[in-house]
Amino acid sequence: MQKHLVVGILNGDDIGHEIVPAAVEVTRAAAARTGLEIDWRPMPIGRKALDELGTTLPAGTLETLSTMDGFILGPIGHQAYPKQPGAINPHPIMRKHFNLFANVRPTRSFPGLGAVHEGIDLVIVRENNEGFQPDRNVVAGSGEFRPTEEVTISVRVITRTGSSRVARAAFEIAQQRRKRLTLVHKNTVFKLGCGMFVEECRKVAEEFPDVTVDEVIVDTMAMRLIRDPQSFDTVVTTNMFGDILTDEAAGLVGGLGMAPGLCIGDGALAMAQATHGSAPDIAGQGIANPFAMIESARMMIEWLGHNRGIAPAVEAARLMKGGIEKALADPATRTRDIRGTGGTNDMTRGIVAAIEAA
Give the footprint of ligand ATP on this chain (CB under 6 A): 15, 256-257, 276-279, 281-282, 288-289, 292, 337
CB 248 to ligand ATP: min, Å: 12
Strands 234-237 and 180-185 turn out to be parallel
Name the DSSP letter for residue 231.
Answer: G
Name which of 66, 74, 69 is nearest 91 in CA terms: 74
Nearest-angstrom CA–CA distance, 221 and 228:
10
Report in angstroms how near the CB of residue 142 gets to ligand ATP at its nearest: 18
- Under a CB-based contact definition with an 8 Å cutoff, are residues 95 and 270 in contact? no
Distance, first Cα to last Cα, the chain: 28
Judged by beta carbon, residue 257 or residue 305, the one nearer ligand ATP is 257
Residue 112 vs 251, nearer CB to ligand ATP:
251
Q: Which residue, 332, 244, 342, is CA-closest to 289?
A: 342
Rounded CA separation 328/135 (Å): 36
Least distance from C-beta 204 to ligand ATP, angstroms? 29
Distances (CA, A) of 275 to 4, 57, 248, 268, 292: 27, 20, 11, 22, 8
Tell me the closest approach of the beta carbon of residue 245 to ligand ATP, in angstroms: 14
**Residue 80 or 311 having the CB closest to ligand ATP:** 80
Q: How far is the CB of 232 from ligand ATP (least distance, A)?
A: 22
Nearest to 120 by CA among 248, 262, 263: 248
Residue, CB closest to ligand ATP: 277
Could you tell me the smallest distance in angstroms from the CB atom of residue 260 to ligand ATP?
10
Nearest to 181 by CA among 224, 142, 212, 135: 212
Which is closer to ligand ATP, CB of 92 or CB of 143?
Answer: 92
Nearer to ligand ATP by Cβ, of 206 and 281: the residue is: 281
78 vs 185, which CB is nearer to ligand ATP? 78
What's phi and psi for 147, nearest 5 deg?
A: -65, -35
Least Å distance, CB 291 to ligand ATP, is: 7
φ/ψ of residue 253, rounded to 5: -120, 15
Identity of the residue numbered 315: E
Residues 184, 296: Cα–Cα separation, whole Å: 23
**CB of 165 vs ligand ATP, minimal distance in Å:** 24
Alpha carbon distance 274, 23 (integer Å): 11
Comparing CB distances to ligand ATP, the nearer of 4 and 276 is 276
Could you tell me if 261 and 274 are in contact, meaning their C-beta atoms sit under 8 angstroms apart?
A: yes
Task: Indicate the residue among 14 and 200 with the shorter CB distance to ligand ATP.
Answer: 14
Return the number of the residue (45 or 181) whose C-beta is nearest ligand ATP. Answer: 45
- E strand or H helix at 71, and its extent? strand 70-73
Beta strands in 120-164 (DSSP E): 121-127, 144-148, 151-154
Residue 306 CB, nearest distance to ligand ATP (Å)?
Answer: 27
Identify which of residues 221 and 283 has a Cβ nearer to ligand ATP in the complex. 283
Give min distance, CB of 270 to ligand ATP, in A.
20
Sheet containing 38-42: give its strands across. Answer: 38-42, 5-10, 70-73, 270-272, 262-264, 102-108, 121-127, 234-237, 180-185, 212-217
